[in-house]
Amino acid sequence: MKESLLVTGGTGYIGSHTVVELITAGYDVEILDNLYNSKIEVLDQIEQLTGVKPKFYEVDLRDSEALANVFAGKKYDAVMHFAGLKAVSESTKKPLKYYENNLGGTFNLLRCMKDYSVKKLIFSSSATVYGDQPSPFNETLPTGEKISSPYGRAKYMIEEILKDLCASDLGFSVAILRYFNPAGAHPSGLIGEDPNDKPNNLMPIIMKVATGEFPELLVYGDDYNTPDGSCIRDYLHVVDLARGHLAALKHIQPGWTAYNLGSGEGTSVFDMITAFEQASGKKLPYKVVERRAGDLAAFYADSTKAQTELDWQTEFDINDIMRDTLNYLDHQNG
């Protein structure tokens, strides 16, 4: 019998790619999403890729009654929790919005899981929990110190809540996946990053500049202590990231465990501009402006633990990320 999974935020960017990988691997998947920053049409695209259209619940995790009705309708073997607001810079301007949404929704989800005896959880965390420390980051480093945004602090708080939950109930198995910088799109071009509101991540902004929707790319600072002065990030192909969730699900153990999911390589903003220009054959207009609140100079992963314990490793690089993003853009523009 197929294992049954509930995926919160499953029509979003990372969630939808993970749903495709889960269905392809033979799992029975249902999706819960409030469509705040995603589109219902993603369900049709998932069906095109997998031959299966997942059951969908348009529910906000903060609606405890509606959430309980979802759990009452089916016995799930595990939950993958992607749902949440995710813009670092916005969180510094609207901290209460981020704490109320990301913490409140998670509280309700965990209560339902306990009430309905669903004891396996894969949680979408972030490398921001490490704060401002020298890279590369590995899982032995302290977390919770010098975190530069409410977004990151909310992720850290949820990790700590999950630690306490596992300590109080030994039946729980929780895998924390600390993402670095997801980018790219499904190689088919059918799904990719398509936020409803103004994008905050570098790749969708680059694409909007490429299509003329934005006049230029704003480079937030060229005076960081990095080789070219721009911020350095660890860009991870979204399909590699999605497959990391399958690996975590297959190897999940009782208790609480954290894993970094990253490529292990740092790429600067200017490197990304160069990679785009090489992949597209077009120049990308940009302008250097003041630093953005909450941004760190550099962070990239040591993912040895995930490679060793989950048998996971990346298969795609920056060139693949650019190729697949441009392919997705071509499909979007038809």
- Active-site residues: which are they? 151
146 to each of 30, 100, 297, how far by Cα in Å?
37, 21, 13
Give 240's contacts (C-beta < 8 A, 6+ positions apart): 261, 263, 314, 315, 316
> Residue 178 and residue 303: Cα distance in Å, rounded?
10
Kindly state the greatest CA–CA separation across the chain.
Answer: 56
DSSP 59-112: --TT-HHHHHHHHHT---SEEEE--S---HHHHHH-HHHHIIIIIHHHHHHHHH
- Among all chains, which residue has been given the structure tokens 């209460």? 96
Helices 238-251 and 13-24, packing angle to 10 deg? 60
- Among all chains, which residue has been given the structure tokens 């990308």? 284
Chain-centre distance of CA 72, in angstroms? Answer: 27
Chain-centre distance of CA 305, in angstroms? Answer: 19
> Residue 44 and residue 48: Cα distance in Å, rounded?
6
- Among all chains, which residue has been given the structure tokens 């998670």? 106
